[in-house]
Amino acid sequence: MVFLTQWVFYGLPWLQWGQRQAVLFDLDARRFYIFGLVLYPQDFIYLTGLLVVSALALFLFTAVAGRLWCGFACPQTVYTEIFLWIEHRIEGDRSARLRRDAAPMSGGTLVRKGAKHLAWLLLSLWTGFTFVGYFTPILDLGSEFASSALSAWEIFWVFFYAFATYGNAGFLREQMCKYMCPYARFQSAMFDNDTLIVSYDEQRGEPRGARSRKADPSQLKLGSCVDCSLCVQVCPTGIDIRKGMQYECIGCGACADVCDTVMDKMGYARGLVKFSTQNAIANGWNRAQIIRQVLRPRVLVYTAILISIVVALGVSLSLRVPFKVDVVRDRSGVVRELDGGMLENVYRLQLMNATEVNQEFRLAVHGLPAMKLASPERVSVGATQSRWVAVRVQVPVDASKSGSYPIHFEIEALSGIGHVTEKSVFLLPR
């Protein structure tokens, strides 16, 4: 999961899609590019849908398999894992580090610690650079960096994100999960007795105690736990899983892995610490019985809602007309009476082309007898660009009584990708 998530995070901004970056959130231009999709602020509904899908997916996965997100995909866990790996490579394993920390400071220790912090800082800065690369084209960012031309905001966000990564993964680590992350607090509401959690098999493990590899635990009246404390040492949140389920447990499974290695060395069966459910532990269920419990009502309801929203979102996206129009009545201009017995209102139309090719649009207006456009009917907008155009609408003076009348602008793409109707009002003076 570390490799997968980091390939995606570090790699995505470098992917190109035609002449542009494949995934780019261009806040300046108010356009989001996601591969072939070009989204405008008016498409905010899709972002809302995505957030709803993410939240429901979190509920579903948590109900089935506990804190999968926390243990395997949360950036806090993933970066802590990477930082720990760097620490392990440079400073050695935990006992070597403890030994070195307890000894007086030496040149070798200083060099190792300096190298570790340098590696952490470089990785953090690269992470900050990548993060900003989702909002500024990363190739431009690279050349701005090379020519020392980064803007103040770009510098701020690169360093802010780098600082957050360095501080959270290098120093705060489990404190984030224990004291700052709200998810740990409400996860219990999503758990039930059939949710997979990392559990210690107390019946099998107790009474715990050290013994030689050759000793027979039944003669010593001992369970399978050799009380080596490795499960506590590897735990990123520093808890002892043998004390039962605790809210600090992020379900990473590190204790289960290390305990299996101990069981292998002792020649005992694996699974003293394992992913299981409270019902399975209490009733001694096997794997097939655990899996049968997955399809329970709560899970089915979450799944049905999730599938419905994903399908609705997919259908809505596929039917989406790939251009948008905003109509703003020109409030500064009064209604003008023209020579030739015509009255005129002026509007500003924003045409947003969400396709990757230039588009030509035909404008028309309806709403009052003999209403017509007095400005060009055809407007071109470049690929993925938006354009404001002033539109003059005229009616004969005797078209209707004074008042405010609803009118409709019809905007049709000549390429045949669709048409849009937008409402506005036409004012006739007293």
Kindly list the residues in this chain that would bind ligand SF4 in the complex (CB under 6 A). 198, 200, 205, 208, 225-231, 234-237, 239, 241-242, 249-255, 258-259, 262, 272-273
Which residue lies nearer to ligand SF4 by CB, 196 or 393? 196
Residue 232 CA, distance from chain mean position: 31
> Which CB atom, from 206 or from 412, has the smaller least distance to ligand SF4?
206
Which is nearer to ligand SF4, 94 or 392 (by Cβ)? 94
The letter for the amino acid at 120 is W
Rounded to 10 deg, the angle between the 107-132 and 152-167 helix axes is 130
Least distance from C-beta 242 to ligand SF4, angstroms? Answer: 6
Output 290 or 310, the one with its CB closest to ligand SF4: 290
* Least distance to ligand SF4, CB of residue 254, Å: 4
Q: Which residue has the tokens 């905010």?
A: 44
Could you tell me the smallest distance in angstroms from the CB atom of residue 228 to ligand SF4?
4
Q: Using CA atoms, how far apart are residues 81 and 95, in angstroms rounded to an integer?
A: 18
Q: What is the largest CA-CA distance in the chain?
A: 113
As measured in angstroms, the least distance from the Cβ of 8 to ligand SF4 is 23
- Sign for the pseudo-dihedral over CA of 274, 277, 278, 284: negative
Task: Please give the Cα distance from 132 to 30 (Å, whole number).
Answer: 16
Query: Which residue, 91 or 227, is less far from ligand SF4 as judged by CB?
Result: 227
Nearest distance, CB of residue 101 and ligand SF4, angstroms: 22
Nearer to ligand SF4, 24 or 273 (CB): 273
253: which DSSP letter? -
Angle at 393 between CA 389 and CA 399, to 5 degrees: 170
CA distance 212 to 42: 69
At its nearest, how many Å lie between ligand SF4 and the CB of residue 99? 21
Whose tokens are 């997968």? That residue is 4
Distance CA 187, CA 212 (A): 40
- Considering the complex, what minimum distance in angstroms separates the CB of residue 198 from ligand SF4? 4
- Residue 98 half-sphere exposure, CB side, CA atoms within 13 Å? 4
| Cβ proximity to ligand SF4, 65 vs 239, nearer residue | 239
